[in-house]
Structures are given as structure tokens and as C-alpha cells.
Amino acid sequence: MLKQCEGSHAVASAVAMCRPEVICAYPISPQTHIVEGLGEMVKSGKLAPCEFINVESEFAAMSVAIGASAAGARSYTATASQGLLFMVEAVYNASGLGLPIVMTVANRAIGAPINIWNDHSDSMSQRDCGWIQLFAENNQEALDLHIQAFRLGEELSLPVMVCMDGFILTHAYERVDMPTQEQVDAYLPPFVPRQILDPAEPVSIGAMVGPEAFTEVRYLAHAKQMQALELIPQHAAEFQKIFGRDSGGLVRPYRCEDAETIVVALGSVLGTLKDTIDEMRDAGHKIGVLGIVSFRPFPLQAIREVLKDAKRVVVLEKSLAVGIGGIVSTDVRMALSGLHLHGYTVIAGLGGRAITKASLHKMLQQAMRDELEHVTFLDLDHNLVKRHLEREKQKRRSGPMAENILRDVGVVAARIA
Amino acid sequence: MEKPFAITLDVGSSLANHTGSWRTKRPLYVDRLPPCNNACPAGENIQGWLFHAEAGNYEAAWRVLVQDNPMPAVMGRVCYHPCESSCNRGQFDEAVGINSVERFLGDEAIKQGWKFDAPPKASGKKVLIVGAGPSGLSAAYHLARLGHQVTIFEAGPFAGGMMRFGIPKYRLPREVLEAEIKRILDMGVVLKLNSRVDNILDSMKSAGFDAAFLAVGAHIGKRTFIPAGSAAKVLDAVGVLHSMEGEEKPMLGRRVVVYGGGNTAIDVARTAKRLGATEAIIVYRRTREKMPAHDFEVEEALQEGILIKWLSTIKQVSDAGALTIEKMALDDKGFPQPTGEFETLESDSLVLALGQDVDLSLLNGVPGLEIKDGVVQVSPALMTGYPGIFAGGDMVPSERTVTVAVGHGKKAARNIDAWLLGSSYEAAPKHELANYEKLNPWYYNDAPKTMRPMLETLRRQSTFDEVQGGLDESSAQFEARRCMSCGNCFECDNCYGVCPDNAVIKLGPGKRFEFNLDYCKGCGICVSECPCGAIKMVPEEV
Amino acid sequence: MPFQPVKFYQTGTFTVGNRLLAPEERTVQANMQRTNGLNSGHRACQGCGEALGARYAIDAAMRACNNQLVAANATGCLEVFSTPYPETSWQIPWIHSLFGNTAAVATGIAAALKVKGRREVRVVAQGGDGGTTDIGFGCLSGMFERNDDVLYICYDNEAYMNTGVQRSSATPPAARTATTMPVGVEPGNVFGQGKNVPQIAMAHNIPYVATATVADLHDLEYKVTKAMGMHGARYIHIFVPCPLGWGAASNDTIKLARLARETGLFAVYEAEHGEVTSVSKIRKRVPVEEYLKLQKRFVHLFGKTPATETIARIQAMADRNIRKFGLLEEEGV
Ligand SMILES: Cc1cc2nc3c(=O)[nH]c(=O)nc-3n(C[C@H](O)[C@H](O)[C@H](O)COP(=O)(O)OP(=O)(O)OC[C@H]3O[C@@H](n4cnc5c(N)ncnc54)[C@H](O)[C@@H]3O)c2cc1C
Ligand SMILES: Cc1ncc(C[n+]2csc(CCOP(=O)(O)OP(=O)(O)O)c2C)c(N)n1
Ligand code: SF4
Ligand SMILES: [Mg+2]
């Protein structure tokens, strides 16, 4: 059924159809509308049986989800930005314990400076936390990915993070094809936990593991994600059978067949990129886009398959690994090991900065001429930055008075030498 | 369930980890010697029988008791209970009323008609016992239990010795005494009354006895020289008390003066009061603190209106019975010294209670004997210098009490038994003493001692009714439960509970506990928290 | 004390059992078939009060719910000594997630059980003083405030023991820990304002709050049982001496807990909906020195020149408790 609605609402509805049993909520923009929607459904009795718990922090939200999941309940929560960081310890714990919690991350920048707008810094900070991370391109995919996330997570006993761009998707009104409860039920079987806290069959979950087995435990976590690489396309295929939609999967190549230049990106920016690429294709450029849906596990093989014949790859990412540049780019480069092609990292859209077609055109043209800097900050106000750096340099040199005097006398200098 | 590797574990699997290997010391259950048992002259296992009484299992309690002492009803009345003086509970609040529980058990046994177990197969040995006082009766009982054929020759018309002819009725009703004696005789012990032994060797030979136990007591009242008029009525205490058992009660008059400071003096004075004396006065050389009589007896006498003249000696008795009394004063060593001050005390009779001597005439002609200070010397096994002749009770050097006499009877019986078998008796080694420091008194409930009911004073002054009553069942049980079970496990489950490693195995009621050394880390909490000090730590062997 | 001996039994209800008591009056620990929720083979130090307290509490809780119990456990000694791979000492379904989230994990378990309609299965959360009064305090307070159906048990050994005896907000003044060394002008832990979590719990008006010690098993079991008979958020704070961290003899564990109570330093009471309903009276009052002297963490108070002033301040704390809670027989509650 087609429906015009807010992205958060679409996700809330999809999550509700997945029959979650415990939902924990803690407010942070731009995720709030999702759990608010769910909260109302639980309170009104529309979503039952389900416990909706207003916790006192994100750390508690994830912890409640851990407890609930370990006790066999399908558990869900949502967060963003500072909230995700606040729960980090528990995020790692959920995956370490193999609990198939599903969490929406409404991607948002991380402070300081505090900023409520979209980029991918938050989920990227958690790329090694052991969760599966799926990125949605649009609201339809966000909706669909949540349904797939429960199925995938529960099958593997792994938590799944569905990442959707804050505001850009969460607050955008778009038309979505809302599935029916029957479709979801047909796709998603009831949760049968791999381990459960039950007096009928008691176990101790969360043992302390020493060097004698820790590597194996970690390896097994990795192996599970490798399994996911196989399961994700299968699940997408099954999804298509029931819902009639191609949604999910590992990667989404767009006009990459003969492309010499391929842009790699995740999330909603793919839409703008596709439009841009269409225009550039029309202008005769051999260019395409590769969307990554599954960032964890990272589909090295699938990506290499798409990129191997290109001449250059531009990774456009909404996050910054301060001190090196890209996060996604580093991973993409791994997929290209041994191949000789140009690679560019473009940092774009930080803290909600709009990524315009015009800027993309300009940047891609440069790339195609191989004139792009290896790490490029899209639309960076170079003058502003320069001025500031200059100023700082001045000040730095002047330094505190006392020190200057000492320096004059030679004490500090002597010590430095 | 198909659990995740390493993170999720099967319950209880730590049993595979034997933490016992950490231990440098290990706990050990012990039985220590309770101070009451240690102090009992009759060697009663007091803590042992209290244990059963605590549970209301009185017959079991009585049976443990009579393994050592066949006369609990008597003991519960006349014993001076040194057990109570050494009871650890005395350091906590007040000593356990052991004696009153013993009396309860004794009375209960009489009431219920509990009998001693039949003696085992006869040994074929014949033992002669001379004297049916507590010592002789006790020996008879223990020898009978050991399967020997026992005959008691008793000079007097009744069995009981001083329990009958010394201790007054108001302290020991005769039915009680008789019931307990009868129970001993029912074991097949032959008692020959009015059968004085004049020569022990002859008597042994006459009926072919293999051994003899002499327990003739000390019956000859001691005299002291007091110039007295010929008409003066001067009597001796044992004689007076003895005649109380006959048809003719002694005629003491209205003003009776008793001379002496022991229990006998008190008994005579109290008897005189009951016989109608308006004034019964004890004259004693020293002070109350120095008086050999037990203070509770002095107290009871005073309650009954007995007067006591302290620091006084009798110098002279006139024909009319007027006594010349000299006041004494204690010197710095505590000895009484004459002051030269005199006074006169009118009296109808003067009773001397100055102690007793032993009549040793039956031993004339027995070779190898040693007599010292008027008593027969015996070995630690209670054998006299003549092989096969043993002796005990008042006639040997010892404290003169019923309890000591009973204890001697038991000890002699065991040694005679061994002697008859040609061996010697080895007492089991004594356990280490369970002194107060070994206990953890925290765990014991505060509970004041139960007092036994006393007869009202008026009846105490005019009748021979028993003065001190017994405890009813619930009070007796309460009193038994005041026992701290010093040094012996009473199954409070503390060790079982307080072990952080569940390394104590509870074996079930009556079976106590065991350590599971696979897991015991040797922390010692069980030792510290055992209320009764029945666990100790010992170094682990390497 | 809620348990007064009805009839005189030699040791009454002071000892673990007593063959003279009716079976129902004996403790759970006296039972031959007790569940040993925390089984042998755990790696707690010799004489560990926490191991003891945990078994006491869990066994009592197990009895109260017919073994239908699930536990969440904070990081700390209890967790580390009970579940090092490949062995666990627990007999009940148990989960360890993190150091500071135990109350929340328990909330999650309770929520799951509720959704699943498993009303018979009950949830306990347990942690050390660090996991409770410090790092887990936020989650604890949240759980209280929502009145989640969880019994939270804090095993208070007055420091972060598992990491090597560092100060926590439950560490008493003057105590030596690895982070409050007995040096400087105020040796040992500072005299702060204290952080009385049972009282804070009471301020949440939750159905039940109680304190207990490993020295009074009947009382402890009574409280656990009572708490298990209620629903909603409940909190029991159990005082558990730590021989290692306190520098005490391993056999003095229970004695120390007893002295903490008898000095008045640790008040034993229970409260319902924010109101104190009963107080365990001091049986034989003792000065704080008797308690302090047994522990090396206070040894600097008893040097050549005893720190009389500091000792007096600690005594004043005990006296204040005694006044505040009416711990002496004569005084009212
Ligand atoms: C007035 C009085 C009160 C006492 N009160 C207490 C008390 O309350 N508690 C306590 O513990 N102790 C008490 N005693 C002491 C106690 O009675 C004696 O220590 C105890 O009875 C000694 O026991 P025995 O068996 O050695 O001798 P006895 O009890 O004296 O018994 C000796 C027996 O041997 C018999 N006999 C003697 N010579 C012969 C012979 N040649 N042939 C055959 N039979 C013979 C006697 O007739 C007598 O029956 C009291 C003593 C007196 C005098
Ligand atoms: C977030 C976090 N911070 C610190 C630690 C380190 N840590 C583990 S256990 C522990 C001490 C536990 O102390 P407490 O809760 O009092 O329990 P105890 O060991 O004393 O029983 C600490 C600090 C941790 N595991 N997690
Ligand atoms: S350090 Fe303390 S709390 Fe930890 S196991 Fe040892 S005794 Fe127990
Ligand atoms: Mg601690």
C-alpha cells in the first residue's frame, strides 16, 4: 500500500510490523519521531504485546535491550550521535554476547561543536563494534532494511544497526510502499533465540574469557559477519519474492558497467549522486555510482567486482577520520588491493552541509581530469580556514609572556635543545 | 541449546575446579571436654545427656546419664554440683542448672519406671562390696553392668549409707533414695543388710569372692575436749541424724546448740528446728566466708530461723547446759585467735558436728595396707595395698561427698573388672578442655537461670517435707537448652552455613558434618563461627 | 530485628540452623537440599564475604520463587570469581553484561518476561558497591524510578576490590585503599559526606529497601524473602567484609560484619515506600576501635601515637547512626 509519510513514521510502522517485544527509548534528535511513534502504538495497545520503556540514558537503552534480548524478547531501540556514543560500551557488549538487537541510527554529527544535523560520524565511529551496519538510501529502503535486519540478526545472533540519514530521511515526507502485516509475518519468523535466560535450562551468559580462547571468540564474531555476506543477498532475494521490491543486498551499482570513474557512497547522498551521474552520462562521461548498503560486513569482493575495471574511484563520505581522511575510502582501498587505479577521498556533507549537484559536478570533473586532491573537503571555505590558521600561528608564536621571558634568558631553549 | 563458544557456560561447571589445593590449613571437627564433664567427680557426660534433654528426649538423656551415675534423682538433690561452678555459661550469664535438670531426669525415670538395661552375660566372677552407701552402690551397679556377680554386705538395717543416715529427709526424701537403690538391686545385686563385716579377709574367703570393694564411709563422730558437767547433754551430729531414721526421734530440747561449721552442723541445726527447738544456734569459730558449709545451705538455714554465732568457741558446758563461749578474732592470716572475752549461752543440748572418722576395724590383720590420717591409702586404681581389695568413698583420702563416692564406685568397678581379667584399666585419654575462650558466645541467647521452687518457710520450720522442689518439664527443658554444648557439636548448622565455598557437607540429623576438602580453601570461618568450639584448624601436611 | 526468638532454643535464631528449631524456622542455608545457587569451585579469596553473601541471598531468593530466578550481574569480584571461562559457579540463568548497567539489564529481562507472560520467573540484579553506588548508579536510579520489577542486591565491601582495592563512594573515611593511601595530612580516605545508597533508594519511595549483613543470616533471608514476595523495584544492601581488601584475617569475615553492626557503623533496617519499618537493634554495643583494629586498612590509626581524633570522628559517625536509626534498645525508632 502506497503511503505518503515521514521517514520516521515509515520506519516506526515497519518496526511495529516486526512485532518487537521490548522497545527502549531515549530522546535525541533526529531519532525521536521513530520511538515516539512506537511509544504511542504500544500505549494505545495497537502494538501488543510489547513493553515500551522510557529509560534514563542511551546506555540504559542499550542495556535494557541487552537484558530483554537475552531473555528471549525481540528488542529494538533507536539513537543518534551523542546518544550512540553514550551507549558505546553496551553496543560492543550486545554484539559480543551475540544478541540480535535491532537499532536505528538516525545519522547525525558528533560534537563538539554540538550539531544536530546529518553526517555519518556516529555510525562510523562504531564500525568495529561487531554490529552489522546497513545504510539506507531512501525511506523505502530504510523501512525495508528494518524488516530484513530483524531476520538477519536473529538468524545470525548478531545485532544490526540500520543507519538512515538524520533529517534528510527521518524527517522527509516521501511516498513509501507500506507492506502488510501478512507480508512481514511471512518473511520474518518469530524470534527463536540461540541462547536464553530461562530457569528451565539455566546457563551463564557473559563469562570472562582469557587469552586461551579470546582470539577464537573474536574470530567467530568475524566468521559470523562473513556468513552475513552470503545471507544478505539471499535475504534480499527472498524479500523481493514476498514484497516485490528489490531492497537491501550488499551493494547497489548504478551505471557502472563501462564506467571509468565510479563514485562510492552510502546513504541518502546516493540519490543526488545518481541524478548528477545521469547528467554526466548524458554529457558523455563514462561515470557510475556504487552504493554500499552493507558497510559491516564490508563486501570486499562485491565492491572489487564493480570497481575492478574502472580507472578511478571517488569515495564520497559523510565522515572524517581526523588525521588521515576517509573511513570508507580506507576500506574501499582494501577491496582494490593490487589494482592500479586512482583513488580520491571526498569528505562531504559534514554536520548537515548540503551536497549540491553543482558541487558534485565540479568535483567530479576535477576527478576525471585527475586534478582532485587525494583528500578533498567538498565546498570547504578555504579562505576562512586559512585566515584562522594564520591567526593561530601568530598567536602560538607569541605564546605566554612568562615563557617568552624565560626563552629570552635561554632556560627553555636549553631544555628544548 | 547451542550456546555461543566460551561466552556462555553450563551451570555448576565450576565443580571441576578443586579449590582445596589453595589450602595451607585445614579445619578438623573435634570433641573437646566440656568443663562440666571435667569437673564432675562421678565423670558424668553432662553435655552428652543435656543434648538429649534439649530435644525433649528425656529417656535418652537419662540413659546417657546413668552410664556413669546410677542415681540421678539423688544426685539432683544432694550433689554440690561442681559442674555448675565450672560451667562456661557462668562467664556468659549464669551457669546452667545442671543439677536441676539431673533431678528432673531422675524423677522422671522413677515416675516412668525406666529400668537399667539387663547386665550382659555373667563373667562368673564374684565381688564383695562392704557398705551400701553411695560408693558401694555405685560400684555394685557398675560391676553388675560388667557382668559380675555382686554381693553387698551392709552393717545397717537399710541401704544408703550417709544418704540415709546423714542427709536429712527434707533434702532427700527416702522414697527417692529407695527407688534408686531398688533399681540397682533389680539388676541382680545381692544386698545383705544387718551384715557387718568384721574381718574382710574372712568374709571374702567364706563365700569365695574374687575381689572386694570397701566403702564403709566415715561414721565415727569426732570429739573435742570440752570440760562438761556430768549432767550435760552432749551429743554427736551423725548420731543425732542417724537416730532420725529410727523409731525414737532424738530428744534435743527447746534450745539446741550445734558446734561446728560444716554441712553436717547445718543439717543438724535444721533438723533440730524441725523437731521443735525454739532456738537452734550454730556456734562457729570463724566467719561466714571461712565456713566450710556451702553458702546456699547457710542461707537456707538462716531463712528457717537458725541462728549462727560467728567467731565463737565453746569453752565449757555446765550441768544445766549453760555454755561458756569465748569470742574469737581473726589474725592477719585468717586464723581465729582467742580474745579473752566470754559470754554465756543457755542450752538444753549441745550437738558436736566436728567431722567423722573411719572405723577401720574390719581391716585388722590385712597385710600390706597403709593407713594415714585415719584413712586407707589406695593406688590411682583405688586398690589398697592388698591385691584384690579396693576401697573408695569417705574411707579413702578424698573430698567427702556423695558424688565423689559414686565416682569412686565407678572407677573401682572398672579397675576391679580389669583386675579380674588380669589386665589393667586404661581410661580413654581426656580430650582437650573446651574452655570459654574456645567458644563463640555471641550465638547463645541470653537466658537467665531457672530457679527451683522452694517450700514456704513455715513448713520448712515444722515439717520434714522436701525444701527444694523440682523443675517442671518445660523449665527443665529450658534449662537444658541453656547448655552451650561446649566443645561438642550440637548441630546448629553454622559451619554448614557460613562456608563461602560450600565445603561443608551436612550428613543429616544426629550425623553431624564433614568437610569437603576438594573445595575447602581453609579460610577458618567455620572455626571462628562455631559457637561451641568443636572445630579447629590444623596445618596442612605437605 | 524482625526475628525475635519466640521460644528459647539455646542459640535461637542466631545460628544458621539448630536441630531444635522447627524446619520452617531454620534458614535456607541449614537445608540439606539447599540449592547452592553459587556453587563450589568459585575463585573468590579465602573467607570472601561477597561469595558468602551472594549464596545466602540467591539461595533465599531461589526458595522464595521456587527456583524461577534469573540474575543479572555487574562486573566485579563476584562476576570474575564465579564465571571465568570455561567454568561457572552459578546454578541459575545468569548474565553479565557490563560494570555499570546491571539494573538496566535486569529491567530488560523483567520486561521480556512480562511480555512473554512468564509472571512466575523473577529477576534479581546484583553488583558490588562500585557497580552500585558509583558507575551503575544512574541505571539503578532509573530502575527505581520506573519501579521496574527487579530486586537489586548490592554486595558492599566498601571498595573496588576486583581492580585491586581502590576507593569507591562506599569506602569509609580513613580507610586505606590503593587510591587513598595512608600518607599526607589526612591519611586514608577523606571524610566526605558519604553516599548512603539505601537512603537514596528510600528517597525513590520504592516498595522495599533493606540493609543486611552476612553476620545475621536469619535477618538477611527474611529480607530477601520479603522482597521476593513483592513486586516493583526493591533494593537490598548487604554488608560483606572483604578479607583481602580490608587486610583482615580470612576467618574474621563474619565477626567484622557483626562488629560493623554492633558498633553502629552499619545500620541494619528495612523500609517500605520510603519509611523505615524496622531496625535491628544493637545487641552488645562495642566501641569502633574493636572493629577498626581487626583491619589493616585502618592500621595507621593505631600507630605509636594513635589517631585519637580520627577514631573519635569515626565513633561519632557510629553514634550518629545509633541516634538516627534508634539502634539501641532503649531508644525508639
Ligand atoms: C549430715 C551429712 C550430710 C551430708 N550431705 C551431703 C550432701 O548434701 N551432698 C554430698 O555430696 N555429700 C554429703 N555428705 C557426705 C556424704 O554423705 C558422704 O561423703 C558419702 O555418703 C560417703 O559415701 P560412702 O559410700 O563412702 O560412705 P557412707 O555413705 O558412709 O556409707 C557407708 C556404709 O557402709 C556401712 N558400713 C560401715 N561399716 C561397715 C562394715 N564393717 N560392714 C558392713 N557395712 C558397713 C555403713 O552402714 C554405711 O551404710 C553428707 C554427710 C553428712 C554426714
Ligand atoms: C566501565 C568500566 N570501568 C571500569 C571497569 C573496571 N572494573 C572492573 S570491576 C571493578 C571494581 C568493582 O568494584 P565493586 O563494584 O565494588 O565490586 P567488588 O569487586 O568490590 O566486589 C572495576 C573498577 C570496568 N570493568 N568497566
Ligand atoms: S577481593 Fe574481596 S570481594 Fe574480591 S574475591 Fe577476594 S575477598 Fe571476595
Ligand atoms: Mg566493592
Q: Quick check: is C13 in a domain?
A: no
Q: What is the pLDDT of residue A417?
A: 43
pLDDT tens-digit profile of A94-146?
999 999 999 999 999 999 999 999 999 999 999 999 999 999 999 999 999 99
The answer to whether residue C139 neighbours chain A at the CB level (below 8 Å) is yes
In this prediction, residue C1 carries a pLDDT of: 35
Q: Are residues B196 and B343 in the same domain?
A: no
Structural domain range at position B367: 126-219+358-420
Is residue A337 pLDDT above 60, yes or no? yes
Question: How much is the average pLDDT of C286-310?
Answer: 96
**Vertex B68 angle, CA B64 and B73, to 5°:** 80
Q: Count of domains in chain B?
A: 4
- B8 vs A196: CB contact, 8 Å cut-off? no
pLDDT in tens, C137-148: 999 999 999 999
CA-closest residue to ligand 2 atom 13: C160
**CATH number for the domain that contains residue A25:** 3.40.50.970
Compute the distance between CA of residue B75 and CA of residue C39 in angstroms, rounded to an integer.
51
B322 and B269 belong to one structural domain: yes
- Whether C41 contacts chain B with CB within 8 A: yes
Verify that B345 and B259 share a domain, yes or no.
yes
Predicted local distance difference test score (pLDDT) of residue A397 = 61
Task: Render pLDDT for C225-253 as a digit per residue (tens, 0 to 9).
Answer: 999 999 999 999 999 999 999 999 999 99
> Among C253, C215, C211, C214, which residue's Cα sits nearest to residue C234?
C211
Distance from CA of C2 to the nearest CA of A (A): 31
Closest partner residue to A204 (CB to CB) among C68, C88, C142 is C88
Report, as ranges of residue numbers, the positions in chain B whose pLDDT lies below 70: 1
Q: Which residue in A173, A145, A166 sits closest to A247, CA to CA?
A: A145
Q: Is the pLDDT of residue A404 over 60?
A: no
- Domain end, chosen from A198, A214, A243, is at A243
C-alpha cell read off for C83: 564465571
Asked if B285 and B270 sit in the same domain, the reply is yes
Mutate to test the pocket of ligand 3, among C42, C80, C81, C238 (most ligand atoms within 8 A of CB): C81
Band of the pLDDT at A405, cuts 50, 70, 90? low
Task: Answer whether residue B121 is part of any domain.
Answer: no
Check if the beta carbon of residue B532 is closer than 8 Å to that of residue B485. yes
A338 inside 8 A of chain C by CB: no
Q: Which atom of ligand 1 is nearest to the CA of B392?
A: 26
| A187 lies in the same domain as A257 | no
Where residue C2 falls among pLDDT bands split at 50, 70, 90? very low
Beta pairing, strands B234-236 & B349-352: parallel
Model pLDDT for residues A225-269, shown as the tens digit of each residue: 999 999 999 999 999 999 999 999 999 999 999 999 999 999 999
Domain C-terminal end among B304, B320, B355: B355
In a domain, C221, yes or no: yes
What is residue B160's predicted lDDT score, i.e. its pLDDT? 97
Residue B312: what pLDDT? 95
- pLDDT band of A394, cuts 50, 70, 90: confident
| Close Cβ partners of A78 (under 8 Å, ≥ 6 residues apart) | A25, A31, A34, A35, A103, A104, A105, A106
Percent of chain A with pLDDT over 90: 92
Q: Are residues B110 and B174 in the same domain?
A: no
Chain A: closest CA distance from residue B525 (Å): 28
The pLDDT value given to residue A416:
46
Please report the atom of ligand 1 found closest to the CA of residue B135. 25
- Name the residue among B493, B500, B519 with its Cβ closest to that of C30: B493
* Chain A residues closer than 8 Å to C114 by CB: 51
Q: Number of structural domains, chain A?
A: 3
- pLDDT, chain A, mean: 94
pLDDT of C108 > 60? The answer is: yes
What is the extent of the structural domain holding A411?
381-417
Q: Which atom in ligand 2 lies closest to the alpha carbon of residue C168?
A: 16
- Please count the CA atoms within 13 angstroms of the CA of A92 that sit on its side-chain side: 11
Domain assignment present for residue B11? The answer is yes
A340 in the same domain as A235: no
Q: Are residues B235 and B350 in the same domain?
A: yes
- The reply to whether B225 and B324 lie within a common domain is yes
My answer on whether B252 and B275 are in the same domain is yes
Pocket of ligand 1 (CB under 6 A): B 78-80, 130-136, 153-156, 161-163, 166-167, 196-197, 215-217, 219, 238, 241, 263-264, 267, 359, 362, 393-394, 400-403, 405
Question: Do A204 and B3 count as a contact with CB atoms less than 8 A apart?
Answer: no
C144 touches chain A (CB under 8 A): no
Residue A409 pLDDT class (50, 70, 90 cuts):
low
Residues contacting residue C297 through CB under 8 Å, at least 6 positions apart: C175, C176, C177, C188, C245, C246, C247
Cross-chain CB nearest to B11 (options A203, A213, A220): A203
Q: Report if residue B18 sits inside a domain.
A: yes
pLDDT at B452: 87
Q: What ipTM, to 2 d.p.?
A: 0.95
Q: Which of C70, C101, C145 sits opposite A199 (nearest CB)?
A: C70
- Smallest Cα distance from A98 to chain C, Å: 11
A53 and A134 in a single domain? The answer is: yes
Q: For chain A, list the contacting chains (3+ Cβ pairs, <8 Å).
A: B, C
Ligand 2 site, CB within 6 A? A 89; C 50, 75-78, 99-100, 127-131, 135, 157, 159-163, 168
Contact C139 A56 (CB under 8 A): yes
Residues in contact with ligand 3 by the CB-under-6-Å rule are C 44-45, 48, 50, 77, 81, 157, 161-162, 242-245
Q: What is the pLDDT of residues B445-488, one digit of tens each?
A: 888 888 889 999 889 988 999 999 999 999 999 999 999 999 99
Query: Given B481, B501, B517, which residue is the final one in a domain?
Result: B481
Number of domains in chain C: 1
| Same domain as B54, residue B155 | no
- Do A73 and A176 fall within a single domain? yes
| Ligand nearest the Cα atom of residue C157 | 4
pLDDT at C115: 98
* Stretch C208-222: mean pLDDT: 97
pLDDT score at B268: 96
CATH number assigned to the domain comprising residue C273:
3.40.50.970
Judge if A125 and A216 occupy the same domain. yes
**A34 and A121 belong to one structural domain:** yes
Nearest CA owner, ligand 3 atom 5: C44
Contacts of C82 in chain B (CB under 8 A): 14
B89 and B192 share a domain? no
Condensed to tens digits (0 to 9), the pLDDT of residues C259-288 reads 999 999 999 999 999 999 999 999 999 999
Asked if the structure places residue B519 within a domain, the reply is yes
Question: Is A63 in contact with C115 (Cβ distance < 8 A)?
Answer: no
CA distance A260 to A269: 21
Does A92 share its domain with A131?
yes
**Are B257 and B339 found together in one domain?**
yes
B455 occurs within a structural domain: yes
Report if residue C3 sits inside a domain.
no
Handedness of CA B58, B64, B69, B75 (dihedral sign): negative
What CA–CA distance (Å, rounded) separates A206 from A223?
19
Alpha-carbon distance B100 to nearest alpha carbon in chain A (angstroms): 55
Residue of A nearest to B11 (CA): A203
Sign of CA dihedral C75, C76, C79, C85: positive
Distance CA B119, CA C214 (A): 52
Same domain, B252 and B341: yes
C212 lies in some domain: yes
Q: How far are the Cα atoms of A141, A226, A274, A290, A367 from residue A252, in angstroms, in the given order?
A: 12, 19, 11, 6, 22
The helix or strand, by DSSP H or E, that contains position B535, with its residue range, turns out to be strand B535-539
Pair (A63, A85) in one structural domain: yes
User: Is residue A316 domain-shared with residue A187, that is, in the same domain?
Assistant: no
How many angstroms does the Cα of residue A15 sit away from the middle of ligand 1?
101
Candidate from C50, C165, C240 with most ligand 3 atoms within 8 A of CB, to mutate: C50
Q: Which residues have beta carbons under 5 A from ligand 4 (an ion)?
A: C 128-129, 157, 161
Asked if residue C80 belongs to a domain, the reply is yes
Report pLDDT digits (tens) over C25-51.
899 999 999 999 999 999 999 999 999
| B69: in domain | yes
Domain that holds residue C247: 18-331
In a domain, C111, yes or no: yes
Give the CATH number for residue A366: 3.40.50.920
Q: DSSP 3-state assignment of B128?
A: strand
- Return the percentage of chain A with pLDDT > 70, whole number: 95
